[in-house]
Structures are given as structure tokens and as C-alpha cells.
């Protein structure tokens, strides 16, 4: 199929974790639409394979590797496959994550499930960054998907997720300081409440006029809105922001 008109990311290589559905899928699609070749991973090969086909239909290259980002061995294999097939990386989006244990006070929490949330959200962000960092081109862009729950005390007793995302926030700060001399800009995005999953349109329709009880100002948004913000961040020039947090939440944090 003929390649779509080149965009601002033409000639760039992007890596997106958790790229098979929801926010990750939207990120992959918008980066490819704007010219980037994209490598993506998630645990479901069927989902990332389907998204990779969407990328190829735009005339871009795509690499899709089933990966558990909490496994150093699997992350290394993913990084090796990406660099062999696509070469140097210009954009890295650490999107993979999720809440493993909800509505459970610390005193009643399961230690293995509690730690799994930290492994996927924080350790996974570290492992992927660690594996790719030497392959990120000078002047590259790294975006970590955080959460408002990492910037405030737990609501709903999801302490493992809060703690993990708080770690992602500080990891973003630390990494930005370490790599700024290479011209690599590192930022965090807080999506707010998003209609994730394979059918966000249906969720948006069901959620009309139903703001969440914990924050009436919030509104459920399509994952494409998050992808649009990330595109804006990664297309800033060399004087663009680094070490910053960009939020789509509709409440103070």
C-alpha cells in the first residue's frame, strides 16, 4: 500500500509499550500517521499484531513482540529485535501498566499482587528504559505514562498502584537530569480518566452524563486525546520541556 504523506516524524523510530489496546494503540497509530516507524509490545501477540498491521497499512515499518515488561529477559529480547530491524530509536513511550489490586487496604493486601503492580508499572518502566537507553539517539524523546494517583494519597485503597506511579514520577525526574546533556527530553503524562480497552467508543457512550463520584469535574475521555498530547510533546524542538508533568486530569493534584 502506498505510504501516507510524510509527517513531522518521518524517518523516526518510535517504541511504545502496552501498544495493543487503549492508550497504547492510540499512541502507536498517531505516531505512525505522522511518519514514524513503530515497534510495540504487550503480552497479547494477537492484539499487537493487529495494531502492527494498521501501521504497515500506512506504509510504515512495524515490529510487534509479545513481552512482559516486568521480565528483564523478555525486555532484552524485545530491544534486540527492535534495534536489529529498525535501528536507532528516537521516541520511547513507556505506556504499559495497570492496577493489579483494587479496593484492598494495605493490612488485607496480598503481598504478591501488591508487588506485581510495582513490577509492571515502575520496574517495567525502568527495565524498558534501561534496555533501550543506549539505543536512543541524542536529541530523542522519552515519555512515561504516569497517573494522578501517583501524585496524591490513595483513593479506593489502591496503594500499590499509587506507590508505583509515584515512583514513575520520580524516575522521570531522575532520568531527565541524567540525559539532558545528550539532548534527550524526558517527560511524564497523566492521562486522567480514559475509556481504555478495545471499544472506547462504547464506553464513552455508556458514561455520558456520569462523572465519577470521587471527582465530579472529571470526564471520561477517548485515548486518542492522550495520544494527541504525546504527539505534541515529542514534536517540540530542542528547546522543548524536560522533567515536566503534563496532565489531562480535570482536578487539582
Phi, psi of 24, rounded to the nearest 5 degrees: -60, -45
Report the C-alpha gap between 54 and 51 in whole angstroms: 5
Residue 183 lies in a domain: yes
Residue 84 lies in a domain: yes
Report the C-alpha gap between 162 and 117 in whole angstroms: 9
Residue 233 lies in a domain: yes
Residue 5 lies in a domain: no
Phi, psi of 21, rounded to the nearest 5 degrees: -160, 170
CATH code for the domain in which residue 113 is found: 3.40.50.720
Contacts of 209 (CB under 8 A, 6+ apart): none
Residue 7 lies in a domain: no
Residue 253 lies in a domain: no
**Does the annotation mark 126 as catalytic?**
no
Residue pair 165/150 in contact (Cβ under 8 Å)? The answer is yes
Range of the domain at 143: 13-247
**Among 161, 162, 191, 229, the one annotated catalytic:** 161
Residue 8 lies in a domain: no
One digit per residue, the tens of pLDDT, for the chain of length 253 reads 445 567 999 999 999 999 999 999 999 999 999 999 999 999 999 999 999 999 999 999 999 999 999 999 999 999 999 999 999 999 999 999 988 777 788 888 999 999 999 999 999 999 999 999 999 999 999 999 999 889 887 766 679 999 999 999 999 999 999 999 999 999 999 998 888 765 665 556 555 556 665 666 677 889 999 999 999 999 999 999 999 999 998 777 7
The total of structural domains in the chain comes to: 1
Task: Give the number of C-alpha atoms closer than 13 A to the C-alpha of residue 191, restricted to the C-beta side.
Answer: 28
Amino acid at each position: 500500500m502506498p505510504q501516507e504523506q510524510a509527517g513531522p516524524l518521518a524517518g523516526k523510530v518510535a517504541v511504545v509499550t502496552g501498544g495493543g489496546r487503549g492508550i497504547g494503540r492510540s499512541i502507536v497509530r498517531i505516531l505512525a500517521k505522522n511518519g514514524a516507524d513503530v515497534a510495540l509490545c504487550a503480552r497479547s501477540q494477537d492484539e499487537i499484531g493487529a495494531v502492527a498491521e494498521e501501521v504497515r497499512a500506512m506504509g510504515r515499518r512495524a515490529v510487534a513482540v509479545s513481552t512482559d515488561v516486568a521480565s528483564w529477559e523478555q525486555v532484552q529480547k524485545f530491544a534486540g529485535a527492535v534495534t536489529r530491524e529498525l535501528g536507532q530509536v528516537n521516541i520511547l513511550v513507556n505506556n504499559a501498566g495497570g492496577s493489579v489490586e483494587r479496593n484492598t487496604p494495605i493490612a488485607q493486601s496480598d503481598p504478591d499482587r501488591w508487588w506485581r503492580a510495582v513490577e509492571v508499572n515502575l520496574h517495567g518502566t525502568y527495565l524498558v528504559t534501561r534496555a533501550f537507553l543506549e539505543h536512543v539517539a541524542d536529541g530523542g524523546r522519552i515519555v512515561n505514562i504516569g497517573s494522578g494517583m501517583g501524585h496524591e494519597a490513595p483513593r479506593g485503597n489502591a496503594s500499590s498502584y499509587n506507590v508505583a506511579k509515584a515512583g514513575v514520577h520520580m524516575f522521570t525526574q531522575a532520568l531527565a537530569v541524567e540525559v539532558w546533556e545528550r539532548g534527550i527530553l524526558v517527560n511524564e503524562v497523566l492521562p486522567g480518566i480514559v475509556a481504555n480497552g478495545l471499544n472506547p467508543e462504547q464506553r464513552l457512550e455508556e458514561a455520558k452524563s456520569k462523572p465519577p463520584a470521587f471527582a465530579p469535574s472529571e470526564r471520561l475521555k477517548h485515548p486518542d486525546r492522550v495520544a494527541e498530547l504525546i504527539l505534541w510533546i515529542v514534536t517540540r524542538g530542542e528547546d522543548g520541556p524536560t522533567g515536566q508533568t503534563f496532565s489531562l486530569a480535570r482536578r487539582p493534584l
